[in-house]
Amino acid sequence: MSLVGKKAPLFKAPAVINGDEIVEDFSLEQYLGKKEVIFFFYPKDFTFVCPTEILAFQEKLAEFEKRNVAIVGASTDTEETHLAWLNTPKDQGGIQGVTYPIVADVSKTIATNYGILGGDWDYNEEGDLTFKGDPIAFRGTFLIDKEGIVRHEYVNFFPLGRNIDDTLRIVDAWQYTVEHGEVCPANWEQGKDAMKATREGVADYLSSH
């Protein structure tokens, strides 16, 4: 079920911050009332599509920070594995140079609460608890506002890398809506016309485009 319009599930979990420091009780609560958050999940450390996305977020980090938006990543790997990957050079498949927090969801409860774990537990005919599917996270992306409400989410299957520029566009659209009280039509980008959420507003927009 979608989390859009609902409180983002909070948690405390180990994470690597600043690319080189493990903290044991990282939480999104630190951003409440201060910053919006892009919280994204990826399947696994030391894989193939994942480093391209993680590094792409790092390349755009200044743009998100300029908009007062924090970036936080997460997977079901351990914090020690995160740290090892963060210390591996890019030319060896690593993500060295990434500075935003990466959460270790070893228990898989965070991914489960966000609805993006790639499978689920069930009982077989013998009554044994088994896992069906992949016990790792899909590529879930969540925009959480300053009040802790999820305002946007999308989820990709494992092979499909996400578009970081479009995530930035979504941030712009949300912030424009909050500031101006207008709504953002299809393919809206920063600098383009928005419209009033009325019949007249829609008619005016459509007639001029």
Rounded Cα distance between 153 and 40, Å, is 9
Residue 50 is among the residues annotated as catalytic for this protein? yes
Buried b / exposed e over 69-81, threshold 16 CB at 10 Å, is: bbbbbbbbbebeb
CA angle 173, 180, 155 (to 5 degrees): 20
Q: Of these residues, 50, 54, 111, 173, which one is catalytic? A: 50
> Which residues touch 200 (CB under 8 Å, ≥6 apart)?
none
> Which residues touch 199 (CB under 8 Å, ≥6 apart)?
none
Kindly list the catalytic residues. Answer: 50
